[in-house]
Amino acid sequence: MCIFCEIIKGNIPSSKIYEDDNYLAILDISQTTYGHTLVMPKKHYDNFLQMPENEAGELMSLVNTLANKIVSKLDAKGCNILINTNEVAGQSVLHTHVHIIPRYDLNDTVSFSFKENKFDLNEILNKINN
Ligand code: 5GP
Ligand code: ZN
């Protein structure tokens, strides 16, 4: 059984900030920033792309609610909402989860770099839309 299924079953302790029949939100053990949270469906899917659209939508709706609550209660100035999908994208636990990473200032330890474009946008559009 995967580590998040063990947490969901209560076999491994966690700091729960939300729970209902289908979803669980816990504090990430690594606390990248103060309040870093993971929101997950209780039903095991290896990753977000495997979820049926309606369940993915329900998960993201809950993420919206919880991110608002976390940002406001912890006095954050914003947040990153992140889903790593597959190892190539940094996914280390193969049970769908959404990171909510509250942000407090521009000089914290979290950084994403969006590099200068070197691709042909029309070629990409054709591949996606055809
Ligand atoms: P990923 O890299 O798969 O997107 O994120 C996995 C996250 O799960 C990491 O941020 C890691 O710190 C967190 N994590 C791994 N094991 C545990 C655990 O046992 N408890 C909690 N609360 N978080 C965990
Ligand atoms: Zn699982």
Tell me how far CA of residue 17 lies from CA of 51, 68, 107, in angstroms: 23, 13, 27
**Number of the ligand 1 atom closest to the C-alpha atom of 92:** 3
User: How confident is the model at residue 109, as a pLDDT?
Assistant: 83
Query: Ligand 1 pocket check: which of 4, 11, 16, 28 to mutate, most ligand atoms within 8 Å of Cβ?
Result: 28
Q: Are 97 and 5 in contact (CB under 8 A)?
A: no
User: How confident is the model at residue 114, as a pLDDT?
Assistant: 86
Assess whether the C-beta atom of 92 lies below 6 angstroms from ligand 1.
yes
Residues of the chain with pLDDT under 50: none
Q: What is the CATH number of domain 3-129?
A: 3.30.428.10
Query: Ligand 1 pocket check: which of 4, 8, 93, 94 to mutate, most ligand atoms within 8 Å of Cβ?
Result: 93
Q: What is the pTM of this model?
A: 0.96
User: How confident is the model at residue 127, as a pLDDT?
Assistant: 98
User: How confident is the model at residue 56, as a pLDDT?
Assistant: 98
User: How confident is the model at residue 115, as a pLDDT?
Assistant: 87
